[in-house]
Amino acid sequence: MNFVQPIRDPDVIKGIKQYLKLRSIRNYLFFCLGIYSGLRVSDLLSIKVGMVKGSHVSIIEQKRKKPKKFLIHPSIRDDLDGFIAGKNDDEFLFKSRQAKTKSKLKGQPIDRSTAYKMLNDVAKEFGLVDIGTHTMRKTYGYHLYMKNKTNIALLMQMFNHNDESTTLRYIGVTQEMMDEETKRLPY
């Protein structure tokens, strides 16, 4: 498995948001909730319409089985409200337009592979490498850390990591710091 990277450039993130919004409001909101919540893709795909009607979303993380509550970023509130208008509370927020291949079930969330393909199409469009479904989660952590480098404990809690080095490595800061130090070598 490849080690994916966060999207470090805020202007690229803005460009991706604009690009997705013009093509698919569902994919735009999927990306935005990913970069504004730090959720794993499996948790994003489990969100139902009724869960996003307030200011916060509360879920139980599938991997760690721990509760997580996050704020819906105000910048996407109007788009989200328009997207969910007329939908039932128990519908998946990121519902597939097709029936599942094996089960033939309709109304299920998009597949992880669909999310991966969407993100990789965007990566190609923007010339990004080492992008995957964890990129959104890492982007969230990277920018929170870069904004307030002294609050690593908060990030560790958000990601359920046990030590700082794991969190810094996870969001790509350790490699970035090593690269910068290598560039500073006097020879």
pLDDT single digits (tens) 166-177: 888 888 887 777
CATH number at residue 14: 1.10.443.10
CA separation for the pair 4, 142 (Å, rounded): 13
Whether 23 is covered by a domain: the verdict is yes
Q: What does the H/E/C string look like for the chain?
A: CCCCCCCCCHHHHHHHHHHHHHHCHHHHHHHHHHHHHCCCHHHHHCCEHHHHCCCEEEEECCCCCCEEEEECCHHHHHHHHHHHCCCCCCCECCECCCCCCCCCCCCCECCHHHHHHHHHHHHHHHCCCCCCCCHHHHHHHHHHHHHCCCCHHHHHHHHCCCCHHHHHHHCCHHHHHHHHHHHCCCC
Q: Which residue has the higher pLDDT, 157 or 143?
A: 143
Asked whether residue 168 is assigned to any structural domain, the reply reads yes
pLDDT tens-digit map of 61-99: 888 888 889 999 999 999 999 999 999 999 999 999 876
Whether 70 is covered by a domain: the verdict is yes
Note whether residue 92 is domain-resident: yes
Average pLDDT over every residue of 116-132: 95
Confidence band of 159 (pLDDT split at 50, 70, 90): confident
Q: Is residue 135 over pLDDT 90? A: yes
Parent domain of 119: 10-183
pLDDT at residue 156 is higher than 80: yes
Terminal Cα-to-Cα distance of the chain (whole angstroms)? 35
2, part of any domain: no
- Average model confidence (pLDDT) across the chain: 90
Identify the band that residue 48 occupies on the pLDDT scale cut at 50, 70 and 90.
very high
**3 domain-assigned:** no
Provide the domain count of the chain.
1
User: Range with the lowest mean pLDDT among 5-9, 102-106, 127-131?
Assistant: 102-106
Does 183 score more than 60 pLDDT? yes
How confident is the model at residue 105, as a pLDDT? 79
Residues known to be catalytic: 40, 63, 134, 137, 161, 170
Residue 4: inside a domain = no
Residue 5 lies in a domain: no
